[in-house]
Structure formats: C-alpha cells, structure tokens
Amino acid sequence: MNFPPFPIHRPRRLRARGAIRGLIQENNLMISDLIWPIFVTEGSQPESIDSMDGVYCLPINQAVEAASRAIDWGLRAIAIFPRVTPELKTSGCEEAWNPNNLVNRTTRAIRKAVSDQIEIMLDVALDPYNADGHDGLFRNGEVINDATLECLEKQALSHAESGASILGPSEMMDGRIGRIRAVLESNGYPDVIIFSYSAKYNSAFYGPFREAIGTEQLLRGSKASYQLDASNSDEALRMVQRDIMEGADAVIIKPGLPYLDLCQRVSREVQIPTFAYQVSGEYAMIKAASKRGWINGEQAVMESLLAFKRAGCRGILTYFAPFVAQWMQGIEN
C-alpha cells in the first residue's frame, strides 16, 4: 500500500496522545485472556520454587483460596499441576489415575468452594507420577507409545470425574487425543473440553517447571523422541491438524515467545482457537532481569503478553496472570 509523502502523511499524529493511541490500538489484552497455572503440594505450608520467584506450590486449602481470588480478579481459568511426593512416583505411574490423587482432590475442593465459577484445566501426562521423569511409560531406554495411551485414558477419565472442565493432554504421544475423546464420550463426559498441546517442543525453557513438580533429577535421557524439534514448523502444523481430526477443541503452542511464528501460522492457516503457554523459563528470565533492575518488569510482562495476542492467540497460560489481573484492576500486589 502506498501512502502520500511527508509532510502530507505524518504517522506521528496518531501517536501524539494516549486517547488517540487507544483509539487505533490493533490488539488488546484482557484479564479474561489469561489462564493461571498453579502448583499444588501435599504439604500444609506453601513451598517456594527457587527458580520461579513469586511462585509457590500450594497446599490444597490455599489452592482453593487462590481460585477464589482468581475469580475476584476477573480470571476465568486456572490450570493445576501437582508436586507429587517421591514415594508415589513409580515406573507404572499408577498414581496418575488415582481418584484421590493430589490434583483430583484439589479439583473437588475447588468445585465445592466455588462451583462452576471458574474453569479448571488439568494436565494429562505421566511425568509428575513417573519415577523415570518422562511423559510416558519408559521401558528399555525408550518411551512406549501405545501402552502409555491406556494410562492416559484412565488419567483423563479420573480428571473428568473429579470436576475438571478442560483437559490438556501434553505428553505428545501419537493417537492420544482420539483415545481421550473416545473415553470421555463413552463415559458420559461429552462436554469436557480438550485443549491439546499439539505443538510442544523439546525445549530448554522447561527447567523451572521441572523443579516445581520435582522431576528435574529423575529424567533419564531427553524427551526428543516425542516432543517436537525446534527446527520444525510444518511438522507442528501437521500435529495440530491431526489433533483437530481426533477431537481437540483448541490447541496450545508451548513454549510461547520462541515460537510466535507458529502461533501466527496456526491461528491464520488452521483457524482453530490457539493458545500459547508462556512457560516457566520465560517467566524466570523476566523476573530475574526485573529483580536486578535491568528491565522494567511490568512493562516487559505486558509487552510479552501483547506479542501473543498480536500473533493471533486467543489466550495465554502464564504465571504472571495474578500480577497482570491486579495491575489491570489497580490492585496493590
């Protein structure tokens, strides 16, 4: 598109005042765009996470309180991840589908306290429960796909029964969305939503998360045989299309900022609701630089979240959600 030359065309006229900038703003971030990931623990006191300043593993009663505060702040969804005690981690991952496991009990407690005022998303993957640290069953030095699917079916059903309204399969096994959708349909849970981690990359940015859930010392080898290679975007698009065909309602790109190009490709080319996960490593970098005074933390957070919206994401999973919600409402943190 051609524009008239200066001085007829002065782009700065539209940047001169806040009201004008607001009128022509192309993308907006709203509190309702954010999903807040929280960690839960069996303990009676919150447990700090060294690499995630300001984030804690919460006992169940405090997770319930956090959900209530989230509603007050205008957040509409939380995602719950467990720090499972070491004695419950096994090679068979049986605790993953225990009806009384940590996330299922937390979900029931939140539902009892706030009913359906907030969406509860639970992860479908075996790594928090796996003595080998992998997202699937680990046998003879490799992750076994088809046997893992049977575990994921049972895990997904236990989460639906506990009151989860959204399931987030994140383990990147072949065929898992179809199997999970089928077990939900056949057991009377057709309305449970699947937000599939269709494009989850083998990334260095997950380190603080693994500390949070207690898997960083357990992982044997890498996850390269099932998570995506950072070089590939066409492959990721194929994974998105496959998951849609199997019954996914929306897709998640993980990590977020290093893969903005993929967020944009999926939202434009596939046109399914697309979410990004601003992962633990992204959070830790911004927090660390802000704490040292190297960047303006609040501005960096807002800028990073707007990048997701600009790339076409409908929403973002971010550990900054409670801070942003309070900033936007003028509440003192």
Tokens of 12: 């700065």
> Catalytic pick from 200, 223, 287, 309?
200
What is the rounded CA–CA span in Å between residue 206 and residue 201?
Answer: 10
Whether 315 contacts 275, CB under 8 Å: yes
> Catalytic pick from 89, 254, 287, 309?
254
What is the rounded CA–CA span in Å between residue 94 and residue 129?
Answer: 8
Whether 275 contacts 34, CB under 8 Å: no
Task: State the number of CA atoms in the 13 A half-sphere of 48 facing the CB.
Answer: 4
Whether 139 contacts 162, CB under 8 Å: no
User: Is there a catalytic annotation at residue 254?
Assistant: yes
Measured from the Cβ of residue 213, the count of other Cβ atoms closer than 10 Å reads: 23
How far are the Cα atoms of 36, 83, 204, 213, 254 from residue 207, in angstroms, in the given order?
19, 15, 7, 10, 13
User: Is there a catalytic annotation at residue 200?
Assistant: yes
Positions marked active-site: 200, 254
